[in-house]
């Protein structure tokens, strides 16, 4: 337990030094704030484009549903890309530079080393996404109407769960390979594959990405059932962490 706390402290100090938390927060808060703004002022934006006036009149009056849709689209998309970018070098880079071997020169748990990276980045994403979600909620209330806060937070947490799935997958590839590019490229490929499978009827309801659709449905009269997708997401996270720890414990650093 002490080893885990030590590694967690090390990860948070590193995040502070590299401004990872600030960058993540600024990007997500920006897109959180801009989501209801973009939904509200899309007709006006179209009028600024040459010849866009004729199309602006065809756009229906924006509603709170448009703000929610824009919020889901922006935060889900950028949180997944950032999950890959910020995770792909977490282990691969340390192995490449030799810092992992220096950290683990003492008889300390390699599993704790990996888990600390996963937990610290997951909590960082949770904090950034909650702040972004509250910022988007505030502007949605100002510009439209007041959505259910509990549903909004539930949606945000479920988008975070999907981001954590991608973090776990990327961490596995970062452990398997010494190249950040390989880890990032394969993670992006898996993310696209999950997206394609998620579009299939029936099978898509069991894919991790369906938890986002589940969260978005909280604002409809008949929410969908996303519990199976949540269960699969947790299994994927656990399987990736177990596989990463197993492989890492056998590697020569």
Which residues make Cβ contacts (< 8 Å) with residue 124, sequence separation at least 6? 15, 20, 21, 24
Token output for 227 = 């519990």
Q: What local confidence, expressed as pLDDT, does residue 249 receive?
A: 85
Q: What local confidence, expressed as pLDDT, does residue 103 receive?
A: 61
* C-alpha to C-alpha distance for 248 and 94, rounded to whole angstroms: 12
**Are the CB atoms for 220 and 148 separated by under 8 Å?**
no
Question: Given the structure tokens 């998309």, which residue do they identify?
Answer: 77
Q: What local confidence, expressed as pLDDT, does residue 19 receive?
A: 77
* C-alpha to C-alpha distance for 19 and 29, rounded to whole angstroms: 15
pLDDT by 10s per residue, the chain, length 253: 667 777 788 788 877 777 777 889 899 999 999 999 988 887 666 666 665 556 656 667 889 999 999 999 999 999 999 999 999 988 877 766 656 556 655 556 888 889 999 999 999 999 999 999 999 999 999 999 999 999 999 999 999 999 999 999 999 999 999 889 999 999 999 999 999 999 999 999 999 999 999 999 999 999 999 999 999 999 999 999 999 999 988 877 6
Indicate the DSSP class of residue 253: -
Angle at 135 between CA 131 and CA 138, to 5 degrees: 140
* C-alpha to C-alpha distance for 162 and 76, rounded to whole angstroms: 8
Q: What local confidence, expressed as pLDDT, does residue 225 receive?
A: 96
Indicate the DSSP class of residue 109: -
Residues in the chain: 253
Q: What local confidence, expressed as pLDDT, does residue 100 receive?
A: 58
* Predicted structure pTM score: 0.92
Q: What local confidence, expressed as pLDDT, does residue 23 receive?
A: 87
* C-alpha to C-alpha distance for 176 and 135, rounded to whole angstroms: 38
**Are the CB atoms for 17 and 118 separated by under 8 Å?**
no
Q: What local confidence, expressed as pLDDT, does residue 74 receive?
A: 96
Torsion-angle region of 207 (φ positive above 0: left; ψ -120 to 50: alpha; else: beta)? beta
**Are the CB atoms for 4 and 115 separated by under 8 Å?**
yes
Indicate the DSSP class of residue 154: H
Q: What local confidence, expressed as pLDDT, does residue 241 receive?
A: 98
* C-alpha to C-alpha distance for 38 and 75, rounded to whole angstroms: 13
Which residues make Cβ contacts (< 8 Å) with residue 128, sequence separation at least 6? 21, 24, 25, 28, 29
In 3D space, the residue among 11, 16, 22 whose CA is nearest the CA of residue 120 turns out to be 11
Q: What local confidence, expressed as pLDDT, does residue 232 receive?
A: 98
């Amino acid at each position: 337990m002490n080893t885990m706390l030590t590694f967690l402290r090390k990860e948070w100090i590193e995040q502070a030094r590299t401004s990872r938390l600030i960058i993540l927060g600024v990007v997500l808060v920006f897109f959180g704030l801009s989501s209801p703004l973009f939904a509200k002022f899309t007709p006006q934006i179209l009028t600024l484009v040459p010849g866009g006036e004729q199309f602006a009149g065809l756009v229906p009056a924006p509603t709170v549903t448009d703000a929610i849709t824009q919020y889901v689209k922006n935060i889900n998309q950028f949180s997944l890309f950032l999950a890959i970018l910020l995770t792909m070098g977490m282990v691969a880079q340390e192995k490449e530079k030799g810092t992992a071997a220096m950290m683990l020169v003492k008889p300390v748990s390699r599993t704790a080393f990996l888990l600390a990276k996963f937990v610290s980045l997951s909590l960082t994403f949770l904090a950034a996404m909650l702040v972004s979600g509250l910022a988007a909620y505030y502007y949605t209330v100002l510009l439209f109407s007041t959505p259910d806060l509990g549903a909004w937070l539930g949606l945000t947490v479920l988008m975070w769960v999907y981001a954590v799935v991608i973090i776990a997958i990327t961490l596995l590839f970062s452990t398997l390979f010494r190249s950040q590019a390989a880890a990032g490229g394969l993670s992006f490929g898996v993310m696209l594959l999950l997206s394609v499978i998620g579009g299939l009827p029936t099978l898509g309801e069991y894919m991790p990405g369906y938890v986002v659709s589940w969260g978005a449905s909280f604002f409809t009269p008949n929410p969908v059932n996303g519990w199976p997708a949540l269960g699969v997401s947790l299994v994927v996270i656990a399987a990736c962490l177990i596989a990463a720890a197993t492989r890492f414990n056998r590697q020569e650093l």
